[in-house]
């Protein structure tokens, strides 16, 4: 038996004998999610592990933003969450084309609701645009805040921005959302491309419920030092959601590091963390899961899925 097979057996046994509700995927079963200490709980107070994939930037890969893909990812890839990466700054992003961007995101949010799957609406920016973010999330909360399917990711990856700045921004956006949606989970970013979770752990946002903090990793670059930060934060009862991850270098290219990926997944399994892999796109890069021949509506055969996509599919199905 090789190491990968042995690892998979250990994980499956762990899940079988743990109080983790991952086998029943529908929102109809889990209902309204809530955060308690470091875990997500469903309406029955069972721990829920959300697992899924992120769509690529909406402004560059809108062809995948449709209901057929959502249905396919749920049924065939065994996702119970998808993430919609609404690009903010690039050409044809939200700042330059807000109406088209909102319409595309809302179409897929409605597809997720129709297919009874959780959906992360991701403000995919590296810089602060507080007025625009408040306007957008206010509209989303007004329209879909009564649905338990929705999760808000209010800042994708802060770059060279201090935690104090991110914290102030986040509180304002949280307050705007909570006017219309008092319950659904809100994901807050942290400095240095969602890696400085230890700084957050020492000075978290207080007095708000159902808030989690995002960590992003690319396993070939982000190794034990970042895992140590995650453990430090968890030990301080900071709830973490891995809303973006990959097994290659942080720039999305390079070889897949299977050994480091397995170490990350072991940490995720042991701590019952939710995770989302990047991304459903056909760019010529390692982290895009699909080849350009891939259909815009799913039903992908083996030739249309890249090495990374196959690893993600295998990991998702290992549950």
CB contact at 8 A, 296 and 55: no
Give the Cα separation of 121 and 128 in Å (integer): 17
- Strands (E) in the chain, as ranges, are 34-36, 39-41, 47-48, 51-55, 81-87, 118-124, 150-153, 186-188, 211-218, 240-246, 274-280
CB contact at 8 A, 280 and 54: yes
Q: Let me know if 260 is a catalytic residue.
A: no
Secondary structure letter of residue 304 according to DSSP: G
Q: Let me know if 157 is a catalytic residue.
A: yes
H or E stretch at 230: helix 224-235
> Which candidate in 46, 153, 157, 270 is catalytic?
157
Counting beta carbons within 10 angstroms of the beta carbon of residue 224, is it exposed (0 to 12), middle (13 to 18) or buried (19 or more)?
exposed
* Structure tokens given for 113: 């609701």
Which CA distances in Å does 203 have to 190, 192, 194, 206, 216? 11, 16, 15, 9, 19
> Which candidate in 165, 244, 270, 307 is catalytic?
244
Catalytic residue ranges: 157, 244
């Amino acid at each position: 038996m090789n190491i990968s097979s042995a690892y998979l057996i250990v994980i499956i046994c762990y899940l079988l004998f743990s109080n983790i509700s991952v086998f029943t995927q529908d929102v109809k079963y889990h209902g309204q999610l809530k955060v308690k200490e470091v875990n997500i709980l469903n309406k029955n107070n069972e721990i829920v592990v959300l697992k899924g994939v992120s769509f690529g930037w909406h402004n560059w890969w809108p062809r995948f933003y449709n209901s057929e893909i959502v249905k396919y990812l749920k049924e065939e890839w065994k996702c119970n969450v998808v993430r919609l990466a609404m690009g903010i700054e690039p050409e044809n992003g939200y700042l330059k084309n807000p109406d088209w961007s909102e319409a595309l995101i809302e179409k897929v949010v409605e597809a997720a609701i129709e297919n009874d799957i959780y959906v992360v609406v991701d403000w995919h920016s590296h810089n602060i645009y507080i007025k625009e973010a408040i306007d957008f999330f206010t509209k989303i909360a007004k329209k879909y805040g009564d649905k338990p399917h929705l999760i808000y990711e209010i800042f994708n990856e802060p770059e060279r921005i201090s935690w104090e700045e991110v914290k102030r921004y986040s509180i304002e956006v949280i307050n705007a959302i909570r006017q219309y949606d008092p319950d659904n989970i809100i994901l807050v970013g942290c400095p240095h491309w969602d890696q400085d979770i230890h700084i957050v752990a020492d000075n978290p946002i207080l007095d708000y419920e159902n808030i989690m903090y995002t960590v992003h990793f690319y396993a070939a670059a982000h190794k034990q030092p970042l895992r140590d930060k995650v453990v430090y934060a968890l030990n301080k009862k900071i709830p973490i959601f891995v809303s973006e991850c990959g097994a290659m270098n942080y720039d999305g290219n390079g070889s897949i590091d299977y050994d480091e990926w397995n170490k990350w997944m072991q940490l995720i399994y042991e701590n019952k963390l939710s995770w989302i892999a990047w991304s459903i796109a056909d760019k010529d890069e390692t982290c895009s899961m699909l080849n350009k021949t891939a259909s815009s509506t799913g039903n992908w055969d083996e030739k249309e899925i890249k090495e990374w996509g196959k690893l993600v599919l295998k990991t998702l199905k290992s549950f």
